[in-house]
Amino acid sequence: MHVLDEADYVIVGSGSAGCALAYRLSESGAADVLVIEAGGTDAGPFIQMPGALSMPMNMRRYDWGYRAEPEAALGGRRLQTPRGRVIGGSSSINGMVYVRGHAKDFDHWAQTGAEGWAYADVLPYFKRMEAMEGGDPLWRGLLGPLNVKRGEMRNPLYAAFIEAGRQAGYPVTEDYNAAAQEGFGPMQHTIWRGRRWSAANAYLRPALRRANCRLRTAEATHVVLENGRARGVAVKRGHRRLGEIRARKEVILAAGAINSPLLLLRSGIGPAAELAAAGVEPRVPRAGVGKNLQDHLEVYVQQACTQPITLNGYLNLFAKGQIGMEWMLLHTGHGATNHFESCAFIRSAAGVDYPDIQYHFLPAAIRYDGQAAAEGHGFQVHVGPMRSKSRGEIRLTGAGAEAPPSIRFNYMSHAEDWRDFRQALRLTREIFAQGAFDPYRGPEIQPGAAVASDDELDRFVRDHAESAYHPCGANRMGAADDPLAVVDPQCRVIGVEALRVADSSIFPRVTNGNLNAPSIMTGEKAADHILGRALLAPERLQPVLEPDWESRQR
């Protein structure tokens, strides 16, 4: 195969983890780093303007265009699975919400075989990457590349949501990424000076200013293996095979939750029988590749608003034009926020030790992808359980990179999922019924007051649940002797030399909340493993848990 280029480290993917890897691996100047990205530029307002967040995920030029298989429990619906095909990867098309995850999420990782990834181990990496505006330096990073801030919460509905939570008996937390996640409070964003602060803006652009880091536009098709070692990556552009990019030291897959498992499978690394059935020669049998796929599902609970103060009043072309013009000139106004400015994490029941329901509050009644708005004015929360026991898989449908993958999440395949969603919906209605919303609350738009019984709520979930776009887990990290683990705790692919995976596909279990932050952290920590540097010293801070969690829901 024709050798196009070579570097010490070849990183596949310029997404959340890949950008962090490029920055850290090239930081000393000693190593030559090359990043392969299939997508094009992230320049332009559709990506850089936070208020336009619904647009890039619906634009084929920025998205891989994946759709999951029909889901039996969701009435056979096929849900979109947007993944960024652009500089910055999914950090360039996501909702810009910044959630680390709960401390106990990472402790669970360590307990299930990901030794060295407990909360005490990952906390210093979260702090290294952050520049949190107004953060407590005990818990938060203040000088990192990734700018994080709270929204301005100018719309009174944001404060009403937080106050309604307090009135319902829940705590209020000013920083859910610090000591206490549980409670209602302001949402945090990767937005800086009115622009999307993607991993590309935070990490990749500074890295590319160094002489030892470069970017190559091409699509990786498979890892080139020789005698059990990763020697490079085969690439193509369109339907034309270009050749191979060689790695003198290591190949690192940071292609994301869907594409990293696919690259392993297309390279002959995975379940041997499934590979053979798809026409791929099994090179390294690894039963766990493509398994353990997880996501968060959510529904929108929508209320009519009796005052004309919601974003539904800005959906006409003239208003959108004004918003766009202000953002282009000043980087201020409605274009400078993602509009998710208050949120909550609560526990669904007594006996649940840390939050398992997440809320994103929005002062509008509209689908997340911007495709359908309610008539008149309204507001909504996106709500869903955080720790479903349902697991899916990614499989090949053919040997070549042109064959579309089979992505099946098996949403709602565990009996507890239905119970958890019913509870989340009933708790949401109780929150919206609090006095804080009295000046604003009109009739319930969705599900609608008539939807009340278990069967009715189940039908609503079946017909309306949507992905929160948090796929992960299909290259699970675990102990090297775990037959279903794909990578070891140093992110090395088990059974292959000089090949690592570092992105959300290695998460043993999905974390509480949105996945951009833990994905970047994974890239940060993996870089130290790859370079053989001493890891940052663990920080053994104790998160706040509800002391009476065994006997009280709030």
Active site residues: 470
User: Rounded to an integer, what distance in angstroms lies between the CA atom of residue 513 and that of residue 195?
Assistant: 22
Q: For the residues of 252-293, what is the DSSP string, one character each?
A: EE--HHHHHHHHHHHTTEE-HHHHHHTT---SEE-TTTT-SB
- Tokens (6 digits) for 302: 């929508």
Local structure of residue 200 (DSSP, 8 states): I
Taking only Cα atoms into account, the Rg of the chain, rounded to an integer number of angstroms, comes to 23
- Do 492 and 500 form a contact (C-beta atoms < 8 A)? yes
Q: For the residues of 44-85, what is the DSSP string, one character each?
A: SHHHH-GGGTTTGGG-GGGB--EEPPPBGGGTTB--EE--B-
Q: Position 453: which residue type?
A: S
Q: Decide: helix, strand or coil at residue 154.
A: coil
Q: Which residues are annotated as a binding site for FAD?
A: 86, 94-97
Query: With 0-12 CB in 10 A as exposed, 13-18 as middle and 19+ as buried, what is 505?
Result: buried
Local structure of residue 492 (DSSP, 8 states): B
- Tokens (6 digits) for 5: 């280029």
User: Rounded to an integer, what distance in angstroms lies between the CA atom of residue 412 and that of residue 337?
Assistant: 32
Q: Which residues are annotated as a binding site?
A: 86, 94-97
Q: SS3 sequence, 504-531?
A: HHHCCCCCCCCCHHHHHHHHHHHHHHHH
